[in-house]
Amino acid sequence: MNIFDLLTLIGSNLSRRKGRVALTTIGVIIGTAAVVLLVSLGMGLQQNAEAQLGGIGDLTRVMVYPGMSDGPVEIGPGGGAAGQTAPLNQAAIDTIAAIPGVTAVIPQDYLQSWAIIRSGRLEGGGQIIGVGTEDLGQLGVTAAQGELTLARGEMIIGSQVASNFYDPRARPGQEPPPPPDLYGQTLNIELVKYAEDGTEIRKKTRARVVGVLESIQDEPDWSLYMSMSDLDGYNAWITGQRIDRDKNGYNTLIVKVSDVDQVLDVADQITALGFQAWSPQSFVEGISSFYLVLQVAFGSMGAIALLVAAIGIANTMTMAILERTREIGLMKAVGANNRQVLSIFLGEAAGIGFLGGLGGVLISWGLGQILNVLVLSYMAGQAVQTGGMPPTVAVVTPLWLPLAALGFATLMGLASGLYPALSAATLAPMAALKYE
């Protein structure tokens, strides 16, 4: 019996029991559709979460902060005994820069008071940050206007800084002014500090805006960047003390890593030095692990339905053998061997699994398209109301998933029909012919 004859016979046998085969196939369809749709939904949730996380910044950076050391801190003259803070000084920068995979270590610090920033009659504010590099491109940002090169007396501002400006002399109910175009302007900066008796002391300075950053939905959007030397001068006036970087170090170090796959390892090595290290990549990894578990859970729910369907296939094949016992005996009497009988019944079981799997894949694809339209329409409306980022997709179905589901359904049918098929193949011809 060649393969064509075998397939023809299997198709003919299945068509003889349309009702029973159809009911069994429906069980496989439900199970397969559930597996594909639920796993696709989990993948869609993961993709949207990762897209949302794209706004947390460059995944190749590690943020380093001073940390409490459990043991003696051996980094440079600023080191100390156990329980003391490990300073982010030049010695720490050199040590971190020597870690394999690190391409840049950029010190960063903040203004230790607050400042009023003026552009004409408008006033605004924002977080003033000093950076220890002339090229802000090393921070993983890009320029929407101007350049990323920073010198003394210059500023590079975030995309949302202009939206903070307002007219302090505006009358109640007056329409607020549009955000000013700050690029190329020289801003008047008024630093504010307080004497011991509470008296407010102010100092005026100026800085020219040489660049505006592209929005990344993170800290840089609301920040004003200046050279570290300018910031040290401001902080020295605010605190009344000379800024000693060797002793006190910097507030933050931004560590750039050559490969995103090395980020977590670099962060672990930095933590081992006695510092606190955090990377957006660690958050992304945690989210990915969560959604992987979610996909497994969703897939398991669908697998339960497939297990029930497998029992149905086994029952269907058992009933078929009982009904066709004399037919099996006749087949053996005219020359069919055990292997041929086994192939016929295994083929029928696998055929039920294949048909159910194919139907489940097609239905899950159709339902996925419907969900994409409905969910995306609803979420887009919600995003408009809340000002958030709408999802790009609700259900994600990679090509391998329906193919794997179809193959699994077919193998499940094959496995479910194995015992009944063996029973049929081992029937004695004479006993089978006498079966009533």
Q: Provide CB contacts within 8 A for 324, sequence distance 6+.
A: 424
Examine the domain organization and report whether 194 and 272 are in the same domain: yes
Residues 174 and 78 occupy one common structural domain: yes
Q: In whole angstroms, give the CA distance from residue 346 to residue 239.
A: 84
What total of structural domains would you count in the chain? 2
| Final residue before a domain boundary, out of 244, 278, 312 | 278
Which H or E run contains 378? helix 338-386
Q: Of 278, 304, 330, which marks where a domain is finished?
A: 278
Q: Is 416 helix (H, G, I), strand (E, B) or coil?
A: helix
Nearest to 112 by CA among 235, 294, 245, 282: 235
Based on the domain organization, do 293 and 256 belong to the same domain? no
CB hemisphere CA count around 425 (13 angstroms): 17
Same domain, 426 and 401: yes
Domain end position, chosen among 246, 278, 310: 278
Shared domain for 43 and 191, answered yes or no, is no
Is residue 32 a contact partner of residue 401, using CB atoms and an 8 Å limit? no
Q: Residue-wise pLDDT tens for the chain (436 aa)? A: 567 777 787 777 778 778 888 888 898 998 888 888 888 888 887 777 666 655 555 678 898 998 754 444 444 333 444 445 678 999 999 999 999 999 999 999 999 988 999 998 899 988 999 999 888 888 878 899 999 999 999 999 999 999 999 999 888 888 888 999 999 999 999 999 988 888 899 999 999 999 999 987 778 889 999 999 999 999 999 998 888 888 888 999 999 998 888 888 999 999 988 898 888 777 666 666 777 777 788 778 777 878 888 888 888 888 877 777 787 788 878 777 888 888 888 888 889 999 999 999 999 999 988 888 887 777 666 655 555 555 666 788 888 889 998 999 999 888 888 888 888 778 777 766 665 5
HEC per residue, 158-203: CCCHHHHCECCCCCCCCCCCCCCCCCCCEEEEEEEEECCCCCEEEE
Q: Report the run of H or E that residue 361 belongs to, with start and end.
A: helix 338-386
Place of tokens 């800290």: 219
Domain hosting residue 22, numbered range: 3-55+286-434
Do 306 and 416 lie in a common domain?
Answer: yes
**Would you put residue 161 in left (φ > 0), alpha (ψ -120 to 50) or beta?**
alpha
How far apart CA 207 and CA 153 sit, in angstroms, is: 5
Neighbours of 401 (CB within 10 A): 19
- Cβ contact 320:348 at 8 Å: yes
240 vs 379: CA distance, rounded Å = 53
Answer for the pair 88, 252: CB distance below 8 angstroms, yes or no. yes
